[in-house]
Chain A
Amino acid sequence: MHLTLEQEKMLRGDYGWAIAKAMGIIVRVGEALGAEELVRVRHAHVSGISYSTIGKYGLEFLRELALRGGKARVFTTVNPGCIDYSGLSKIIDNSLVEYQKLIDESLEKMKFKLVYTCIPYFYRPPLPGEHIAWGESSAVIFANSIYGGFTNREGGPVALAASLTGYTYKAGLHLLENRVGRVEVRVSASLLKVPISAIGLWIGENIKAIPCIRGMHSVLLDEVKNMLASMAASGNHALAVIYGVTPRGTFRVDLEERVEVENSILENYTGGEYSGSSILGYVGCPHSSPRELVEIWRLVRKYGRIRRGKLLVTIPVEFTELYRNIVLELKARGVDVATGTCPVVSRFKEKFDYVLTNSGKAFFYIERIHRIKVKLAGVEEIVRELSGL
């Protein structure tokens, strides 16, 4: 791989241990992927900062980099942690706070912007064709597919290394020649009555090449976000070409196959009938956008309040202040709001028999991590069910 003089100095340790370690990771991953050079990135988004998911060895890794001089060289945001940062939630277990605090101190020391969210594009949307290095599978696919940013599914440590060096390897989706849609997926209008996450889960499991999705023109962006996040959970998609949305010039199309998504095949992706009395409704995976938050507020007002089970909504930390009145009213109407975290990267204080969610990503992980049955439903169905009306 060709390295510039500056990059060679970084690798050699002239800029300190942390940068040498970070550059070593990038060069080794890049060489394994056949990259010929590195590329400067404008924004790193670091996943894997929740103590609940990375544990003590991940914590040691982050602390060592911070203590030995690691500092962000580009704008860097971070994913959710394992605690509720506003202390509003009664559902999220904050017992790991001491360990999470050690991680957070390390992130602060490295000068990262502590947004604790999986929707970093809310803070800085990438430009079409701009090279970025993001972890967080749902954010990666959103950045590539909606904004036309160029990023691979960087693992947490690679995104971190890109932040400390300002570079990542030029391979995979950093090259236009690899951003080629191969399978056309047609989604008929009748399907859009099913939670759209189910379509994402199906695509993730059954289509391996980059899909080109038709029929999404009437779908809200937040719904597309849920579909993309689901694809990146049940599969390894980092880019979907969405006709009419994905910016021109950031992808090519060379179709080899066409498939139609049918109602019958989605039945296995929505979960079975639920049983048991302790029910959790969950919205906000990926974190709710302002529009979604307002929509939940509208629906909770429509149905009065939560009378049956619990309804959890997860949002970025900053929304607690930005949308203070909405958050307070939701709480007054029995909704549990957690900030800077989510059930995928944290633990619950109590046991639930089943979870109702609009998120295919939450569907995929909650079943596996918390061993709770999950069913997909639309947001209105969730609020209505929990209102007891």
Chain B
Amino acid sequence: MSENSLAYRGNIKPIVPGPCSGEVVLVDGYISFFGEVDPERGCLIDLENVCFRDKILVFKGTRGSTIAPYVIYALRKNNVAPRCILVADVEPMLIAGCVLAEIPLFTVERYEEFVELVKSTHSNVYLEVCGGALLLYKRE
């Protein structure tokens, strides 16, 4: 991490525990996995070029269809799943999807503050979860 500087340190709660570090893809809002996510490509349908394969997917929470766990499971089977998921609000069907697909899931304390910082760097950050701490490094 020598070329990066620590830009933010916050608290994070593991919901589906597991390792989580890498580049961040931020979606500013709520997602319905069914209808808004392409399980073949690992991308958002409405937002071009927003793909999250092997990256950290950050969004506010889920909405819409309860088919979501199957879409998340298909992302894993198609090898286009995110490395881990960070949200502000968590609901049962997202947890079920992450349990089935074995994708680590976390809720972020002070989500808005964290997201503002990611936005200000245009997502040019590297994120790492260590225990209950979220470390955000700005790329130099």
On A, residues with C-beta under 8 Å from B are 25, 28-29, 32-33, 47-48, 53-55, 57-58, 61, 135-137, 140, 152-159, 171-172, 204, 208, 232-236, 364-365, 368-369
Contacts and interface: CB of A to CB of B under 8 A. Distances in A.
Nearest to A135: B66
Contact of A153 (B46, B77, B92, B99): B92
Given A53-B34, A57-B77, A153-B93, A233 B64 contact: yes
B100 A157 contact: yes
A134 B115 CA distance: 33
B32 interface: yes
A48 B69 contact: yes
B4 to A, nearest CB: 31
A53 B36 contact: no
B93 A61 contact: no
A105 B36 CA distance: 29
A236 B61 contact: yes
* Residue in B30, B32, B34 whose Cβ sees the most chain A Cβ within 10 Å: B34
B66 A137 contact: yes
Interface of B: 15-16, 30, 32, 34-36, 39, 45-46, 61-70, 73-74, 77-78, 89-97, 99-100, 105
A153 B90 CA distance: 12
Contacts of A364: 32, 35, 64
B41 to A, nearest CB: 13
A165 B105 CA distance: 25
Contacts of A154: 66, 92-93, 96
Contacts of B90: 32
A236 B64 contact: yes
A53 B91 contact: no
Contacts of B105: 32
B66 A47 contact: yes
